[in-house]
Chain A
């Protein structure tokens, strides 16, 4: 059994805005084991990015604040660290790959400068060693003529190449965990496959845990060992990817899986869309947030938020009808 690397306990991040309190992340508990790859899936606004940014303590404050909870990384609660100690964690222990490869690199600095900056700071390398390592890293993520391209600026790289640079940057200091926030959303389909492949290979090679945040269940099917599904600031289902994909126990997960057209199936007359819109996470009542869009909602759903319950070992769902969902869905 692999060791616990990260434990998030009852984490809540709220944004205090003029319109009210936005409970972007509201009591989220999960864990990441060493060397594991986990996907956090959900629609925009469900709190998946905020939960990741909370782990890195990158929430803009004000208006945002981590209201309660613990983030235990290798035995220490990193929410209690000072800002200076936190700086050591970022990049060194946990690093991040952002969605926008266009905006997350500094346009006026060379790729080489940006890569060596972190290496010199965190790994105590001199300039020559840092450059050597930076070049090797670029080679590993599949950039041709890597050592020469260190002198190039971000605009001289294509989107896929820039995302590879971001991955090189993320693994550069041998972190224990990489959080990738929608790493392939801005990329083309053919490039998406390449980038994810590179990311997984790098993580495997360095024994790094990988947390992939995405809205597309399809993209991560090949790479994730476990899947966590979020909706309106809460985890609504989690489990091994076989369980979640083949035996979904929350109507939202089922809806997500059914609403995308699949290449391996016959073309249906109509797609099974999830009707309605995701709720605004301002002043939500104590009820299942998905109930208004749910085909299987019962009276109880509108009265009290169901708890996250274990359905089979390691497979959790937050739904009153979780155990009967299969029979209901057939109708």
Chain B
């Protein structure tokens, strides 16, 4: 991030410190959830450090994959960016403006530009609303249609765009399969013509043969609508397919960010290596000869994370410096555009 670029008046909002056209910049974002004790006097006794000091950027038009195990804070990151949580500290710079801790009224016009696709296609659609009104609601909320005819036309168009039949607008969620419901969720997200979508595990609840359909659809829509995605998932093979760059998260920290090809060919962090080796390959001959890095133990509790490097309790080869060190975790650039946690670079 040393490379400074002169910013002219026209590109002020889009060009940022690292020379790329960033739609989003997250700086030192922290999201703590308080643990309280007592019934009347809710004493604040500790914090769950769901997201602890992470920084990354998303470039316009790209897909950034965010991977990690459940509980590592990847969904919280997505929600904090959208200000669905109030970040404890840090900056969320969207199109040049720091939107951290904006209130509901300030956020409302911005919601047109940033949308969310949920994991569970069953609980994320209101069972009492028809598919048409689910997709049409954002149009009404943001006042994007003037007449009933236009409203209907846009719903029909959106349904067609996500591969559903326009006459399905009158059906209710229970009449659709999981894959079709996810398509409705996607149609709802793109209804307001957003520029940025947080996709929170959009395919992990779907059957294997349907996953590929939804991934292809999301790629088509990205091209058609110039979308930028933050793609949150735990399945690295899916993330590798759809993302341009990938960030790996562990216990509230980003431990590695790199281009997808670089990350898969040259992973640096032991956690990334373990994640990659855990992904099964559907080939019994290959699998039989493949070495697997099995991480011992469980993820430590985010309310009481290890001091210093958070990965040291599960690291296969921790150095002394690492187990005893208490340095704050931070990323260093080991190669152009390839950032790895400093502790692991020192461990070598």
Using CB atoms and an 8 Å cutoff, list the residues of chain A in contact with chain B: 43-44, 144, 158-161, 188-194, 197, 215-222, 224, 241-242, 245-246, 255-257, 259-264, 267-268, 270-275, 277-278
Contacts and interface: CB of A to CB of B under 8 A. Distances in A.
B70 A267 contact: no
Contacts of A144: 297
A263 B287 contact: no
A215 B219 CA distance: 24
B238 interface: yes
A189 B278 CA distance: 6
Contacts of A215: 207-208
B69 interface: yes
Given A43-B208, A158-B298, A271-B216, 7 more contacts: A189-B236, A245-B283, A260-B212, A260-B237, A261-B241, A273-B213, A274-B212
Nearest to A274: B209
Interface stretch (B86-94, B288-296, B322-330): B288-296
Interface in B51-78: 69-70
Contacts of B294: 190, 193-194, 197
Interface in B229-287: 234-238, 240-241, 260-261, 264, 274-276, 278-287
Given A221-B287, A263-B240, A267-B260, A275 B282 contact: no
A252 B288 CA distance: 25
13 contacts: A159-B70, A189-B69, A189-B236, A193-B280, A218-B237, A246-B283, A246-B285, A261-B237, A262-B281, A264-B281, A273-B213, A275-B213, A277-B177
Given A160-B298, A215-B207, A273-B216, A263 B282 contact: no
A263 B208 contact: no
B303 to A, nearest CB: 14
Pairs A-B, 3 closest by C-beta atoms: A273-B212, A259-B212, A218-B280
A264 B234 contact: no
Question: Interface centre among A193, A255, A272, A278, by most B CB within 10 Å?
Answer: A193
B281 A43 contact: no
A149 B201 CA distance: 33
B284 A241 contact: yes
B211 interface: yes
A221 B283 contact: yes
Nearest to A192: B278
Given A222-B280, A256-B209, A261 B275 contact: no
B284 A190 contact: no
B185 interface: no
A245 B284 contact: yes
Contact of B211 (A161, A220, A259): A259
Contacts of A161: 298
Contact of A263 (B219, B237, B288, B292): B237
B332 interface: no
Contact of B278 (A190, A246, A260, A262): A190
Contacts of B285: 242, 246
A263 B279 contact: yes
Contacts of A262: 237, 281-282
B179 interface: yes
A292 to B, nearest CB: 13
B296 to A, nearest CB: 9
A221 B211 contact: no
B48 interface: no
A224 B211 CA distance: 23
B215 interface: yes
Contact of B179 (A189, A224, A270, A277): A277
Contacts of B286: 264
Contact of B241 (A220, A256, A271): A271
Contacts of A257: 282
A111 to B, nearest CB: 16
A189 B275 contact: yes
A278 to B, nearest CB: 8
B236 A259 contact: no
Given A221-B283, A262-B237, A216 B208 contact: yes
A191 B216 CA distance: 28
A189 B284 contact: no
B234 A189 contact: yes
Contacts of B69: 188-191
A160 B209 CA distance: 26
A245 B287 CA distance: 12
A259 B241 CA distance: 12
B212 A218 contact: no
Contacts of A275: 213
Nearest to A159: B70
A300 B303 CA distance: 62
Nearest to B242: A261
A261 B274 CA distance: 19
Contacts of B210: 43, 273, 277
A174 to B, nearest CB: 26
Question: Interface centre among B177, B215, B219, B284, by most A CB within 10 Å?
Answer: B284
A221 B209 contact: no
Nearest to A272: B212
